Structures are given as structure tokens and as C-alpha cells.
Chain A
Amino acid sequence: MNLPTFEFTPALVVAIPLLGAFLTPLVSRINDKLRNIFVIIIMGLTGFFVFLLAYDVLAKGIKVYVFGANTADTIQSLENGLPLLRILFEVDAMSVLMAGISVILGFVAVIYSWSFMKENTGLDKYYTLFLLMIAGMLGMELTGDMFNFFVFLEITSIASCALIAFWTNKGKAVDAAFKYIVISAIGALFILFAVALLYSQYNALNIAVLGSMIQYTFLDKIALILLIVALLMKAGIVPMHMWLPDAYSRAPSSVTVALIGATLASLYGVLRVCFTLYGNSLSNICNNLNINVHSMLGTLLILLAIITIILGVIMALRQINFKRLIAFAAIAELGYMFLGIGTGLTVLGNPELAVYGMTALKGGIFHIINDALDVGLLFLVAGAIYYATRENSLNRMGGLARNLKYTTVFFLIGLLAVSGMPPMNGFASKILIYESTYQLSPILSIIAILCSILLLAVFVKVFYSAFMGPAQPKFKDVKEVPKSMLIAMGIITCIIIFIGLFPQFVINTVVTPAAEALVNFGGEKGFYINEIIESFTLGGV
């Protein structure tokens, strides 16, 4: 009998939220308070295992977990010439980084829900769906199998769709959820079709195996386009962003925070597809055009990113609904990430430019962490204001700093962080992106800086109209929000300040390994699950 040790962490990370999800309705029959504690414990346990896994992966490199059998047996059977049939979890530094972000957001959202959702009925279903959504996100980020990725994507979309529509009595929530499920269903079908195209050609579903065999045939290119379009659609890049402001602003704030994690999991999918599945840069020259597929893809991503930044900021300028405004700012932030990642992708495989390409990629990945925290904090503050005043429109707010002291401080920190002001974390990642994109084309970084300034203007306006100004008589009885919400906001604020003060530490410990894990295709440190690939090819397919 083996006790669960380090070896089992990848499975436990997904299994514990699933177990919790199915136990929640049973626990909530006993007592509501017990259920809340139970869900927090489940999320805490998941977080514990994610950090155990992170420690393991950052120290020892890529970790492979085989479902239903132990890893040694699988490698043995591969060496004996049997095909790779099992579902594998392949965890590298990038997966672990994303899983960490998801689990932090989930944990904070669960704590926040304690008071925020207290007056709602049907909370057993809320928590069940919430844990399912977290399990789906973590699965997407840890899996090493294309079909498994699709399954987890579907779990995440269905659970988050139901959660977006949780406030059904508010009407518009159902509308937003419908938009989201339509986009998700289309995206999922695209991915399924792409997986079928790949499977029909290479007879494999494992990402690493596919990545080592990819030939850039015509069908491969179709599959690449389908995958990228579907995942960008789910990540909310501008031409396909129409679901995002609705979904973010109509869902309860605690759900919105977890939804950011789901969006970023799709972004992780884009990274995985670009850098690992289609990462074999040796054979990626289009035969008759002589254009590198990566630089083409990177240029496309940069173009979309610039449009996303500009449109996101401009739309944010004219919003009067608080949460909708933050949602548009979140779209703009997504643009910054894709600007960094696109720049990194453009110069991949070009050794002269690789240094600033790496800086750009690091900036993009670092910005994923920062955006998740900053935008998450702003949504939590918006939820707190809604909880205290039942007001969503900026035109009807004012003078709230008198009543909501702590919340004001949290908002101020979130404001500075999201618009990239120096002491906060947003600055650290944005400066990396500005620096590196300037070398590719100055106009890119000029647009990025200008939009960042506009973002500051947007949030200063919000700060003034919501918190400053004369006291309004209708808000006379408004009290500070309950403790659980303050704790949730406080946790995120602490992490923001920590990253803002020690950006170099974070870059060195998590961001650089993640960027190297993405770029390092077949390098010395071992491409994504190298040993299994070798035994796989030795076995003779």
C-alpha cells in the first residue's frame, strides 16, 4: 500500500475539488456554516497540494503522472513497443504557475462568498458548481492530453455558465450566460474538430507526442487555426470579446474572480498550442512562402493585442456601470499579456533577437499573474460596494470613502496596480513589456504606454466619483462590509504589495522557469516529457 506522497500531487490537485463538489450537497444538508467551512477546507487543501506540486516541479523539473497505473510500468510498456494509451498529466513550470493563479483566485473567491452570497438560496448548488469549475480549470492547466484538455474545457464552461446565470432573478444574467454558453460551445466544437484532425494524422492524443511529430501539413495548419481561434474566443480577445463584459459584470463578484481564472486557463491553452504542440520550429517553414509560422502567428497575436488594448481602454472610458468598466479594463489587460507573448513568439527561433523575445515572454507571463490579482481585487471591491449600497452605477455613487474605509484603501491599491504605477506589481511586468516591444517596433510600446495612462485616467475618474465628493444622505447608514470580504480583499492586496516590492524574486523563482519551460523545445533541460517521447519513438510507431 502506497500512501499519497509527492508522487500523487498532480492527480490530487484535480481530484480533491471534484470530491468536494460531490460531497457539498450532502454536507449542506447538515448545516450551512459547516458547508462553508468544508468548501474553504477543500480549497485550502487543493492550494496546499498545488504548492507542493510547484515546489516539486520547480526543484526537479517536469513531472509526469499516469492515470490508472504507475509511471514506471507505463515507461516499461512503452519501451516494449506498446502505444501510449493512458491519460497523462504533464506538469511543467508554466502549468504550475497557472494552477497557482487559479487556486489563489478560487480560494479568495470562496472566502469572499461566505458573506457576499449569504442571502441567496441554492448555495449548495453554487458551491458544487464552483468547485467543479475550479477542478476543470486545474485540469486544463495540468493535463498533457489534447482530448482531456477538451473535456476539462467543457467542464469549466458548463459550470461557469451556470454560475454566471446564478442571479437569475436579475434577468440580464441569463442573457450573459446564454452568450457565454454559445461562445463556449462553438469554441469547444472547434477544439474537438482540431483534435480529430490531429488524431487522424498522427494516431496520438498526447500533446508531447503530437508536438514531436508535427509536420505542418495543410491539415495541421487548419487544426492550428481552429485551436487558436477557439482559445482566443474563450480568452476574450477583441473581435471575439462580446461575451466578456456581459459575463464579468452580470455574474456575482465572487464568480467573476474565478471566471478570470477560467479565462486565463484558455490563455494558457493558447501558449501550450503555440509553444509546445506547434513548437517544433525546425520544420515550421511554409514550403512555398518561406515564412516562419511562429513569426506569422506572433505578428497576428501582436495585431490582435494592440486592437484589444485600444478598444478595451476606449470602451472602459465611457462606461458608467462599475463592473462593466472593470471588465473592459480586464480586456485591455489581456491585450498586454498577448502583446508580450506575441513578441516572444515572433522572434522564437531567431537567435539574434532571442534575448528581448525572452524578456517579452517573461513580461507577458508575469503580467498574467499581476492581471489576475489586480483585476480580481477591483472586482471584489466592486462587489463590496454593491453589497454595501446595492448600487452599480457610478452616477449614483459618491462620498463612499467615509463609510467604507478599508475598501477605499483596497481600491486605491488595485487602481495603482492595474494602471502600472511604480510601487505596485503592474509596473514591474508592464515595464518588461514596454522595454522589449520597443525593440521590435517603437510604435507598439508607445501605444501600450499611452493606453496605460488612459487606464489610469479611467480609474482615477472612478475613484473620484465613487469614493470622493460630498457625503450623500442616502448612503448615511452604509456600513463597512463584513469581515470575510475584507479578509479576501486583504489577501490579494498583500500578494500585490509583496510582488510589487520584490518583483525580481518572483521573476527568478516562478516566471523565468515558466518562460524557459515554454521556449525550451527539445533543449538540454528536456522538452515536455522527453523521456517518454524517446521511449515512444524507440518502440517504433
Chain B
Amino acid sequence: MSGMSKIVKTISSITFPFVFIYGLYVIAHGHLTPGGGFQGGAIVASGCAMILVAYGSVWTMGKIKEKNLSILESLGGFCFILLAFLGLGFGTGFFNNLFVGNEFLFGETPKFNSVAANFNTAGVIPLMNFAVGLKVIAGLFAIVLVMAYASSIREDEK
């Protein structure tokens, strides 16, 4: 897949940060609003796919290696399991939400009857959302990238 016209490239460069920020917002607010790690990750990966379409797979492959993406992906999976293991090591059981009520990272207990959503709550759930988000961004983008690259090789052969 070769790159598209200059107009498309410029517009996707301008919109990409917005898509990226929106995806990160969905990941970060997974415990408060609809969405979460997977949904936000898919949004960010679709933003990356937009860049891929605009600039062409050969250019993108030069910038980001598929191997690095797969490392990021397994890092995401590893962090998720590690958080579950932390619950076992320092809490009461596997997948135990150990940060809740600790006044530490995401550890606040929301006040009773409070209307505004408090971002700093829910214990390990936001952290697990981050891990899943990382895994989905890297995994989905790696799939799209490899498929685009493979089809571009085929076009060259023709």
C-alpha cells in the first residue's frame, strides 16, 4: 500500500492526536464511564490504522517494527497477570483488589451519595485497564500493520 495524497496525509496528521487522546481517555475512565481497556485500545489502534492508510505500509513499517509491537503486547499481558498475582501475594486472593481503601494509587473510597465521579477510585481496575489497553493497542496495530505490509508485497509482485 503506497501513501495517499498530501491532503489526506495532512488531515490525518491533524486528527490523529485527537483520536489518540480520546482513546486514552476511554482507557483511563474505564472504571467510571462506558468503555475500558479494550474499547479505548481499539480506538487508538484505529487512529494508528488511519496513519497507516494515509502514509502507506512501507513508510509505517520503517518507523515502527512489528517485533517491538509484539514486545509491548506481551508486556501488557504480563502487567495484567502481575497485578492479579499482587492480589495473591499481598492481599487475600488471586485478582484481589488490593489498592482499594489504601489512600494510595487509585485507592480513595468515594464519599457516600457523591454525585461527581471520582477519578482516583477503584483500586487495581484502572491499572488493569491500562495493561489491557496497551495490549490491545499493540496487538491490533501489529495485526493491521502486518496484513497491510503483506498485501503491499503482493501488489509489488503484480
Verify A18–B92 contact, CB threshold 8 A: no
B contact residues, range: 20 to 34
A67 to B95, CA, bound (A): 6
Stretch in A22-30, A412-420, A497-505, A532-540 with 4+ CB within 8 Å of B: A22-30
- Interface secondary structure of A, over-half rule: helix
Most buried by A among B71, B77, B89, B90: B77
User: Interface digits, B82-95 against A, CB 8 Å rule (1 contact, 0 not)?
Assistant: 10110111101111
Verify B88–A11 contact, CB threshold 8 A: yes
Verify B74–A26 contact, CB threshold 8 A: yes
Known: A11-B88, A68-B87. A25 touches B70 (CB 8 A): yes
Verify B81–A2 contact, CB threshold 8 A: no
Verify B77–A22 contact, CB threshold 8 A: yes
A23 to B85, CA, bound (A): 14
User: Interface digits, A1-36 against B, CB 8 Å rule (1 contact, 0 not)?
Assistant: 111100010011001001101111110010000000
A219 to chain B, nearest CB (A): 31
The reply on A401 being an interface residue by CB < 8 A is: no
B100 to chain A, nearest CB (A): 11
Nearest B residue to A3, CB-CB: B89
- Interface secondary structure of B, over-half rule: helix
B139 to chain A, nearest CB (A): 12
A184 to chain B, nearest CB (A): 20
Contact of A69 among B81, B89, B92 (CB under 8 A): B92
The reply on A84 being an interface residue by CB < 8 A is: no
Contacts of A23 in B (CB 8 A): 74, 78
Verify B81–A68 contact, CB threshold 8 A: no
Contact of B71 among A29, A65, A69 (CB under 8 A): A29
A21 to B90, CA, bound (A): 23
Verify B74–A4 contact, CB threshold 8 A: no
The reply on B144 being an interface residue by CB < 8 A is: no
A266 to B72, CA, bound (A): 33
The reply on B105 being an interface residue by CB < 8 A is: no
* A316-341 CB contacts (< 8 Å) to partner B: none
* B59-118 CB contacts (< 8 Å) to partner A: 70-71, 73-75, 77-78, 80-82, 84-85, 87-90, 92-97
Contact of B94 among A15, A22, A26 (CB under 8 A): A15
B6 to chain A, nearest CB (A): 38
Contacts of B84 in A (CB 8 A): 15
The reply on A407 being an interface residue by CB < 8 A is: no
Contacts of B89 in A (CB 8 A): 1, 3-4
Contacts of B94 in A (CB 8 A): 8, 11-12, 15, 65, 67-68
Contacts of A68 in B (CB 8 A): 87, 93-97
Contact of B74 among A12, A65, A128 (CB under 8 A): A128
Contact of A70 among B77, B82, B93 (CB under 8 A): B93
The reply on A66 being an interface residue by CB < 8 A is: yes
Contact of B93 among A19, A26, A66 (CB under 8 A): A66
Nearest A residue to B96, CB-CB: A68
Verify B87–A22 contact, CB threshold 8 A: no
Verify A15–B85 contact, CB threshold 8 A: yes
Contacts of B90 in A (CB 8 A): 1
Verify B74–A2 contact, CB threshold 8 A: no
A73 to B93, CA, bound (A): 11
* B5-53 CB contacts (< 8 Å) to partner A: none
B87 to chain A, nearest CB (A): 7
Contact of A26 among B75, B81, B85 (CB under 8 A): B75
Known: A1-B89, A4-B89, A128-B74. A22 touches B81 (CB 8 A): yes
User: Interface digits, A328-357 against B, CB 8 Å rule (1 contact, 0 not)?
Assistant: 000000000000000000000000000000
Verify A67–B93 contact, CB threshold 8 A: yes
Most buried by B among A19, A29, A73: A19
Contacts of A29 in B (CB 8 A): 71
Nearest B residue to A70, CB-CB: B92
Contact of B78 among A3, A4, A22, A73 (CB under 8 A): A22
Nearest B residue to A73, CB-CB: B92
Nearest B residue to A68, CB-CB: B95
Verify A19–B81 contact, CB threshold 8 A: yes
* A56-85 CB contacts (< 8 Å) to partner B: 65-70, 73
Can you offer 16 A-B residue contacts whose CB atoms are under 8 A? A1-B89, A2-B92, A3-B89, A8-B88, A8-B94, A12-B88, A15-B88, A15-B94, A19-B81, A22-B74, A23-B74, A25-B73, A66-B93, A67-B93, A68-B94, A70-B92
- Chain B interface residues (CB < 8 Å from chain A): 70-71, 73-75, 77-78, 80-82, 84-85, 87-90, 92-97
**Additional 15 contacts, C-beta under 8 A, given A22-B81, A23-B78, A67-B93:** A3-B89, A4-B88, A8-B93, A15-B84, A15-B94, A19-B85, A22-B78, A24-B74, A26-B74, A65-B93, A67-B95, A68-B87, A68-B95, A69-B96, A128-B74
- Chain A interface residues (CB < 8 Å from chain B): 1-4, 8, 11-12, 15, 18-19, 21-26, 29, 65-70, 73, 128
